[in-house]
Amino acid sequence: MSSVYSAKTGLSSILKAYSPAERERAKNIAINKVRFEIPKQKGILDAVEAVNAHNNFQPLNEFVAFLKETEISDNEFSQIMSDAHKLIYDLSPKFTNMVEALISLPWTKRQPAALQAYTEFYIDIMVAHNKYVEFGIPKLISLWIPADADESMWPNGTPIDNVKIELDAIHHLLDRILTAIPMSFEVVLETIENKFPYFKKATHVIAGYVHNVLWLTEYKPIFTEFVMQLLIQKLVVLDVNAPRSEIEETECEEDEDLEEENEDQEIFEMDDCQKSSGINQKDDDLLPMKHAIAHTLDICMEKMFNFLDTRNPYALNVTAEQRLQLNKFWKVLLTAFDNVILPSHNTHHVQFLLFYHSSFKNTIAEAFLQSLWDKIKNPNVSAVIRQAAVGYIASFLARAKFLPLQVLKYYLKELCDWAHQYIQRCDQYRQNGSLKANIVFFSLCQAVFYVIAFRSRDLTADRKSLLFLQSLQLSAIVTCNFNPLRVCLPAVATAFAGVTRAYQLAYCHAILERNARRKLATVYANDTATPEETLDTFFPFDPYLLKMSEKKITPHYLQYQASEAEEASVVATHMSPLRQRKRGDSEMCDDIDDFIVADKRQKIMELARSQEREAQFTYGLSPGFHM
C-alpha cells in the first residue's frame, strides 16, 4: 500500500538520491526551460530593459545562465553579439556578470561573420567602459595557452595551420585594443607575466605560450624589452631545474657500461654526452631530450634563437634604418643579461643567447666583452658580479670561434695588466692574501690561466704570438705572494702548467708540488680531511647539451685543439695512478678532457710513460671540483 502511495505522490525521491544520469537530465531540462523562456532575438534586450526600467535582475540572471550553459550556434552567436552591440553604452558596471559572460563565449572557431560580430562588440565595450579591460585582456591572453590535450596541434611548440589562423584573430584583436586604449598596456604587461605557465607544465604548453609572447613583439615592438627580460627569467627557471649533471645522467645511461669498460682510455663523461646527446649525430636531432624540463628548455631555446635571427642587424637586405633599430635590440638583450643571467647561479644554456647573438658580427662580440670588462674593473660593482663577469669573459674568449685573434690577445693583455697592478698595489699595502678578500684577483688569474691553456694552439702558432705571451710576464703572476695556483681548479692549473713548461713561459710545477705538500701537511696535522681552499668557479659556455637547439651553436663553438708540444705534459694528469675519476665528480672534471685530442690519445700515452713517475707526484691530486 505504501509503495502505491509513494508512486502516486512522487515521495520516493526522498528515500533515494538521484543517479548521475538523472541529475544530468534534470540539468538539461532546466537549461531548456531557460532557453525556452528567453527568445533568441530579444533575450538580451529584454533583460537589460528589465533592469533599467524595473530594477528586475531575474531575466538578466537567466540570460547569463543561458550564455554559460547553452551551446550556441553561429547564427545565434552573431545575433546576440549584434544585440549586445546596440546596448554598448547601457552596459554599465552593474551588468558586469553579463558582459563577462559575453566576452567568455567561445569564439575563435566560429564563422567569419560571428568572428566579426564578436570583435566589434569586444573592442567597443572596452572603449566605452574601461573597467572591462581588466577582465577582457586576461581573458584574451589566456587563449594563448595551449590546452594540455592539444599536444598534437603544437609540434615543437609551433601551432599547426588551423591553430595559427585562430591565434591570428586573437593577436589581431589584441593589437586593435592596444592601439585604441593606451591604458591597456599596463594590463597586458601584468597579464603576460601572471599567465606564464608553471615550469613543470607540458612542453607544448610552455613553448606555445613563448611562441605567442614573441608574436606580440612583431606588431607591438614597444613590448620587446619587457618580453625579453620576462622570457629570459622563465628560461633561467627551466635551466636551473635541468642541471647539467641530471641531463648527462639521463642522456648517458646507455653509455655507463661502455665508460666502465674503457676506464684505461679515460674517456670522460662530457665527450660521451656530446656524442649521445646528438652534438655530433645529426640523426638524433629530432629525438626529444629524455629529461623533461631539458626538453622544454630545448624547444624554447630554439624559438629564442630563431627570434634572434630576425633581430640580426647585419642580415642581408637590412636597410640602414632597420639596422639602427636592430642595434637597439642588442642593448635590450644586454640589459636582460645584466639583470637576469649574470646574477643567476648555475645556469648552463640560457647564456648562449648572448653567445649566439654575438656571433652575428665582431662588433657585437666586442661590445659584450667590453661590458663584462667594465664590470670587472669597477670596484663599485659587487664582488659576486665581478667574479661572475670574469667567468663569462674567460669562457667566451676560450669558446667563441668567431672571435678574432687580436681581440683575444687584447683582453689577455688587459687581464694581465690588471693583475700586475693589483699585485704591486697589494705588495705596497701588505694586503691580506686570503681567498675571500681577493676573490676577484684570484678569479681573474684563473681566467688568464684557463684561456691560455685552452687557446694555446692559436697563441703559440708563430713567433709573434710567443713573443706576445712572453710580454704578459706570466711568471710574475704565478710566483707572486698571493700564489694564485693554490686556489685554481686543478684541471686549469695542470693544463696551464703544461703549456707554460712546453714554451718556457713560466715554471709552475715546483709551485704545484709545494702547494700539494702543504695541503697534505694540513690534512695530517689536523688528522681530518679539511676542505681545500679552491675557487668556486663555473665556465658558462661549457659544452651545450640540448639536442635540437645546439645546431645554432655548433658552427660558432670552439672545441679544444692542443698543440703538439704540451700534449705530453697534459696527459700526465690522466696517466697518474692516484687520479681516480668517479661519475659523481662535477662537470668541470669532464671539461679537463677538452685538453686532450681524442685521435691522439695513443700517441700521448706513449709519450707520457717516461714522465709517469714525475706525474704521480706533480699531477696526483684529483681534479674533482665544482664549477
> Residue 314's pLDDT is what?
87
Q: Report yes or no: 326 and 311 within 8 Å, Cβ to Cβ.
A: yes
Looking at residue 13, what is its pLDDT?
39
pTM: 0.80
**Mean pLDDT per 10-residue section of the chain, whose length is 627 residues:** 40 46 57 44 80 89 91 92 92 92 94 95 94 94 96 95 96 96 94 96 97 97 96 97 92 57 44 43 63 96 96 84 86 96 94 97 96 97 96 97 96 96 79 83 95 93 92 92 89 90 85 77 49 76 95 94 59 42 39 44 42 33 30
Predicted pLDDT at 319: 83
Work out the angle at residue 591's Cα, subtended by the Cα atoms of residues 542 and 485, and round it to the nearest 5 degrees: 105
pLDDT score of 256? 54
Going along 271-343, which residue ranges are E strands? Answer: none
Q: What is the 3-state secondary structure (H, E, C) of 179-245?
A: HHCCCHHHHHHHHHHHCCCCCCCCHHHHHHHHHHHHHHHHHCHHHHHHHHHHHHHHHHHHHHCCCHH
The pLDDT, as a whole number, for residue 474 is 93
| pLDDT confidence of residue 481 | 86
Confirm if 108 and 169 have CB atoms less than 8 A apart: yes
What pLDDT does 251 receive? Answer: 82
* pLDDT value, residue 536: 78
The domains of the chain are located at 244-290+351-618
Gyration radius of the chain over CA positions: 33
According to the 3-state scheme, what is the secondary structure of 124-162? HHHHHCHHHHHHHHHHHHHHHCCCCCCHHHCHHHCCCHH
First-to-final CA distance of the chain: 86
Task: Measure the CA–CA gap between 142 and 159, rounded to whole angstroms.
Answer: 16
Q: What is the pLDDT of residue 573?
A: 44
The per-residue pLDDT for 615 is 36
Instruction: Look at phi and psi of residue 473 and say left if phi exceeds 0, alpha if psi is from -120 to 50, else beta.
Output: left
With beta carbons less than 8 A apart as the criterion, state whether 48 and 95 touch: yes
